[in-house]
Chains A and B, each alone.
Chain A
Amino acid sequence: MSQKTTDRRTFLKRGAAIAGGLTAAAAKPTSAQLADPEGFIRGSEELVAYGKRSRFETGHRIPHGGRASPDTFGLDFHIATPLQESVGVITPSSLHYVGTTRGAFVPDIDPEKHRLMIHGMVDNPLVFTLEELKRLPSVTRQHFIECAGNRSNRRHTNVQQTHGMTSNAEWTGVLLSTLLEEAGVHADADWVVAEGVEEVKGASSIPMTKAMDDVMICYGMNGEAVRPQQGYPLRLLAPGFEGIFNVKWLRRIKVVDQYYMTYNDYGHLARSPVNAALGYQIGPKSVITFPSGSQQLPGAGFYEISGLAWSGGGRVSRVEISTDGGASWTTANIRGEAQPMAHTRFSYEWTWDGSPCELQSRCIDEIGQVQPSRAEALAFFSTDGEPVRFVPGQDNSIQPWRVDSDGSVHNAIT
């Protein structure tokens, strides 16, 4: 029996046990078999009209946070992205994570009937149709969105569970500042309340400084219309802010002079200035997506470590990798050009010697914020003699993955 055959058999045997699936590029080439295609894909009107992925690609979203989605009533709750399958930086629209404020029915909206109203402390209250919004100067930008509850714990086994409540898309729309300038905002207005049209009318207060800076009113996502689960036909995007600010099915912007303490805002209620500040803009964060929990390395040798980094503070300026559990750090490669408040792909050329090790990544953003280790974050929130075991608010701490000598990869949070 040739060495190659043995490798292939070993790989197949191990592969069968992998729940999340192994990135094909990571396996040793199965060159013992030079196979022909399985057949051909017969053309159909459906495939001509709107293509679909290969039947061999099975990455899929999963309900997140312990609640069924959809539930028995057809309500969507939290749904996580399969980051372990991700390549590049764009999350396909069909795989974008979904968060809802209470568990929401996705409204079925006729775009011809949908309206956006801007009113309150403005000179000219305005109502726009979709068609009218598309006449205005547009921007197209990549941005991530992340749920504030996107946190890893020791029971999670793969990166979809630990980090799947963030995604990154190319968004197209009008800057909110364009609409606010058109409406003429009063000098003493310092907040906007953005509201959706779904049955709970989810609403969030957004500071005017943010509204006038980079908030987008989006009708486009990854080159087509925003998907219904993402707010079709119109959603607000507050780059770098916690997920709940990114109001879906947007129908109203009210310009006001006080914090409205909507139910969504109440979810951020804090009694300490530290918690209030840290539960607002997403911190610098990163995670290795390959190799990551539940994946299997076929043996010692060369691998490109790959992952995603992002920050609500701006561009990712550097990502560092540790292959020794955080004892030493090396700078990773940034693939492509880092965009502000967007997932950024990083990579690191690594030759695994086959011995057990622990992989970590950390993100440093353009304003100097550094992703903390779990121990550092917990220490910060611990008071004298009272250690905490849970990072309050968002948890942007470093994710450790342990590689065992058999090549299996595990969540190393203890």
Chain B
Amino acid sequence: MRLLKWLLSLSLPLLLLGGYVAQAQSPTYGVGRTPTAEEIRAWDIAISPTGDELPEGGGTADQGSELYLEKGCAGCHGTTGTGGIAPRLVKRDVGPNADPWDYGRVLPIRSPYATTVWDFINRAMPLGAEGTLTPDEVYALTAYLFYINELIEDDVVLNRENLPGMKMPNADNWVQVPDWFPGQPRLQGYPH
């Protein structure tokens, strides 16, 4: 349904051109122009937890392990996902029945959504060559990070179908920020 709504919003410019102006709320100032569908697609890199925007493609941890060296990830994050100058990528060893929060501030294990991991690798990695990874490479590197954190096997092909549905250890172990309204205290009942 969300995907449908989103696709609908993309097609609106075409509708406008076709003269179906009555369906859209009319602008007050008429300043600015309508982006093309291609312009939106090129910039629309934010991936929702439901994964609507994920591209086609796929990759395995096995492929990701090679890319991790090839793309220079290991140089900053360490060959085993730890020990480098960049943030740690592999969970701390805190025993088999650990609370997921005890694994440390490690994105691919702490994040409640697999999509956040994909999104950040895609938009912000690797250092100095951000935005150059192909979708296949991002899927493979994401799979590799999940593999070293013992979330999936090394032959699982991650893709737009199965990535959003991945159950992360903290999926139900975090709280949303409260609804915000103007003039509202930060926390109802906070003594200060």
- Say whether B46 contacts A193, CB under 8 Å: yes
Cβ of A248 to closest chain B Cβ, rounded Å? 15
- Say whether A184 contacts B27, CB under 8 Å: yes
Interface residues of B in 103-150 (CB under 8 A from A): 107, 110-113, 115-116, 119-120, 123-124, 130-131
Most buried by A among B12, B46, B115: B46
**Binding-face segment, B29-37, B57-65, B88-96, B152-160:** B29-37
Q: Is A61 an interface residue (CB 8 A)?
A: no
- For the complex, what is the distance from the CA of A140 to the CA of B69, rounded to whole Å? 50
Closest residue on chain A to residue B13 by CB atoms:
A125
Quick one: given A121-B9, A127-B35, are A136 and B175 in contact (CB under 8 Å)?
Answer: no
- Say whether B116 contacts A278, CB under 8 Å: no
Cβ of B72 to closest chain A Cβ, rounded Å? 14
- Say whether A252 contacts B43, CB under 8 Å: yes
Which of A136, A369, A370, A380 touches B29 (beta carbons < 8 Å)? A136
- Say whether B124 contacts A201, CB under 8 Å: yes
Quick one: given A252-B43, A277-B177, A283-B186, are A263 and B34 in contact (CB under 8 Å)?
Answer: no
- Say whether B6 contacts A126, CB under 8 Å: no
Quick one: given A181-B28, A258-B50, A263-B120, are A124 and B186 in contact (CB under 8 Å)?
Answer: no
Quick one: given A200-B130, A269-B112, are A260 and B34 in contact (CB under 8 Å)?
Answer: no
- For the complex, what is the distance from the CA of A123 to the CA of B26, rounded to whole Å? 8
Cβ of B64 to closest chain A Cβ, rounded Å? 19
- For the complex, what is the distance from the CA of A173 to the CA of B10, rounded to whole Å? 28
Q: Is A312 an interface residue (CB 8 A)?
A: yes
- Say whether B180 contacts A280, CB under 8 Å: yes
Cβ of B147 to closest chain A Cβ, rounded Å? 20
Interface residues of B in 1-60 (CB under 8 A from A): 2, 5-6, 9-10, 12-13, 16, 23-29, 31-35, 39-40, 43-50
- Say whether A269 contacts B5, CB under 8 Å: no
Chain A residues, CB < 8 A from B46:
193, 195, 203, 254, 256, 260, 262
Interface residues of A in 234-278 (CB under 8 A from B): 251-252, 254, 256-263, 265-266, 268-274, 276-278
- Say whether A124 contacts B177, CB under 8 Å: no
- For the complex, what is the distance from the CA of A257 to the CA of B5, rounded to whole Å? 10
Q: Is A14 an interface residue (CB 8 A)?
A: no
Most buried by B among A120, A195, A269, A276: A269
Which of A127, A268, A314 touches B183 (beta carbons < 8 Å)? A314
Quick one: given A261-B113, A262-B119, are A270 and B185 in contact (CB under 8 Å)?
Answer: no
- Say whether A278 contacts B174, CB under 8 Å: no
- For the complex, what is the distance from the CA of A128 to the CA of B34, rounded to whole Å? 9
- For the complex, what is the distance from the CA of A182 to the CA of B174, rounded to whole Å? 36
- Say whether B27 contacts A278, CB under 8 Å: no
Q: Is A377 an interface residue (CB 8 A)?
A: yes
User: How many residues on the A side are at the interface (Cβ–Cβ under 8 A)?
Assistant: 71
Quick one: given A123-B25, A184-B24, A369-B185, are A276 and B123 in contact (CB under 8 Å)?
Answer: no
Closest residue on chain A to residue B23 by CB atoms:
A123
Chain A residues, CB < 8 A from B182:
209, 213-214
Cβ of A145 to closest chain B Cβ, rounded Å? 17
- For the complex, what is the distance from the CA of A209 to the CA of B12, rounded to whole Å? 25
Cβ of A381 to closest chain B Cβ, rounded Å? 11
Chain A residues, CB < 8 A from B98:
none
Interface residues of B in 57-102 (CB under 8 A from A): 101
- Say whether B31 contacts A136, CB under 8 Å: yes
Q: Is A291 an interface residue (CB 8 A)?
A: no
Quick one: given A117-B43, A121-B5, A266-B111, are A260 and B48 in contact (CB under 8 Å)?
Answer: yes
Write the residues of chain B forming the contact surface with A, with a CB cutoff of 8 angstroms: 2, 5-6, 9-10, 12-13, 16, 23-29, 31-35, 39-40, 43-50, 101, 107, 110-113, 115-116, 119-120, 123-124, 130-131, 170, 173-187, 190-192
A-B contact pairs, 17 of them (CB 8 A): A102-B124, A117-B35, A117-B40, A121-B5, A184-B24, A195-B45, A259-B49, A261-B49, A266-B116, A269-B110, A273-B175, A277-B178, A281-B186, A367-B184, A368-B185, A369-B186, A380-B191
Write the residues of chain A forming the contact surface with B, with a CB cutoff of 8 angstroms: 102, 117, 119-128, 132, 135-136, 181-184, 186, 193, 195, 199-201, 203, 207, 209-210, 213-214, 251-252, 254, 256-263, 265-266, 268-274, 276-281, 283-284, 312-314, 367-372, 376-377, 380
Q: Which 10 A-B pairs have the closest CB atoms?
A: A184-B25, A372-B192, A123-B24, A200-B124, A277-B187, A126-B32, A263-B120, A201-B123, A128-B32, A127-B35
